[in-house]
Amino acid sequence: MATAVVHSLWLQDHDPAFVDPHSGQKLRGSALVDFRRHLVAAEVGNAGADLRVTWSDQKHSQYPAHWLYEYTAESARRRRPWIYGAAQRPQLWTARDLEKGGAPSVAAEAVLHDDRTLWQLLQHVHDYGLCFVRGVPTDDVDASARIAERIGPIQDTFYGRMWDVRSIPNAYNIAYTSGDLELHQDLE
C-alpha cells in the first residue's frame, strides 16, 4: 500500500466535485479556495479505493486513491526526478509582498532577444509560480505569441491559436465579458 502526504488546501483545490466530468476542466479557480475551511475527518473507503474527507463546513469530498497517488508531490518527484531532484523549494508570497514591489518581472523586449532574461522569467515562474512581463504591446496580439513561443509551443484551443479578448454585449462566453476571469487554461 502506498502512502502519500497531501495538504488540505491542495485537496480543496483538486476536489473532484469542482471538475467538469466531460471536459476534465476545473470549475473553480485556485484563488477561490477557502483558507478558513479545514479538514475535520478523513477515512479510507471502498476497500481502499478512495479517500473520503469531511470539511469544517460539514461538506464531504471523495478522492479516488489511484488519482491521489498519481498526482501527489511524491509521485511527481519519482516521475520527474530531473525537475524535483535538488531544485529549490517554491517561494511563498502574499498580496502584500506584491504590493511592496516584490513581484518578479522581466522586460518583454529582453525576453525576446536575451536567453538570460528568458531563463530569469522561467526561474521566477518555477520559484514563485508567476512572473510579470513588462512592456508587452497591448495593440499587437502577435507580440504575446512571440514571447510565449520563447517559452514553448502555443497550444491551439477551440478559440484558435491566439486571440484578442474584449468585452461584447450579450456575450456567449464569460471570456468576452468585463467580469473576472479566474486563472485557467483553455483546452481543445
| Digit-coded pLDDT (tens) for 14-32 | 898 888 777 777 888 888 8
Q: How many domains does the chain have?
A: 2
Please list the alpha-helical segments (H only) found in the chain: 8-13, 65-71, 73-79, 81-84, 95-97, 108-113, 115-128, 141-151
Q: Is the pLDDT of residue 181 over 50?
A: yes
Average pLDDT over residues 19-47: 84
Of 32, 47, 82, which residue sits at a domain end?
Answer: 82
Instruction: Note whether residue 3 is domain-resident.
Output: no
Task: Using alpha carbons, list the distances in angstroms from residue 142 to 128, 135, 163.
Answer: 26, 14, 9
Q: Are 41 and 53 in contact (CB under 8 A)?
A: yes
> What CATH number does the domain containing 38 carry?
3.30.2020.30
Written as one letter, the residue type at 74 is E
pLDDT score for 188: 46
The C-alpha atoms of residue 83 and residue 127 are separated, in whole angstroms, by 12
CA nearest 136: which of 160, 157, 162, 156?
Answer: 162
Same domain? 75 vs 114 = no
Average pLDDT over residues 40-59: 90
Cell digits of residue 15 = 476536489
Q: Are 82 and 65 in contact (CB under 8 A)?
A: no
Q: Worst-scoring range by mean pLDDT, 34-43, 62-71, 123-132, 177-186?
A: 177-186
Instruction: Note whether residue 186 is domain-resident.
Output: no
| Digit-coded pLDDT (tens) for 99-116 | 877 788 999 999 999 999
| Digit-coded pLDDT (tens) for 61-80 | 999 888 887 777 666 666 55
The C-alpha atoms of residue 144 and residue 26 are separated, in whole angstroms, by 25
pLDDT score for 173: 73
Q: Are 104 and 76 in contact (CB under 8 A)?
A: no
Instruction: Note whether residue 90 is domain-resident.
Output: no
pTM, two decimals, is 0.48
Of 82, 114, 143, which residue sits at a domain end?
Answer: 82
> What domain range includes position 32?
8-82
Same domain? 74 vs 100 = no
- Averaging pLDDT over each range in 4-18, 49-63, 155-169, which range is the top one? 49-63
- Alpha-carbon torsion (5, 30, 54, 19), positive or negative: negative
pLDDT score for 157: 74
* Helices vs strands, H then E, count in the chain: 8, 5
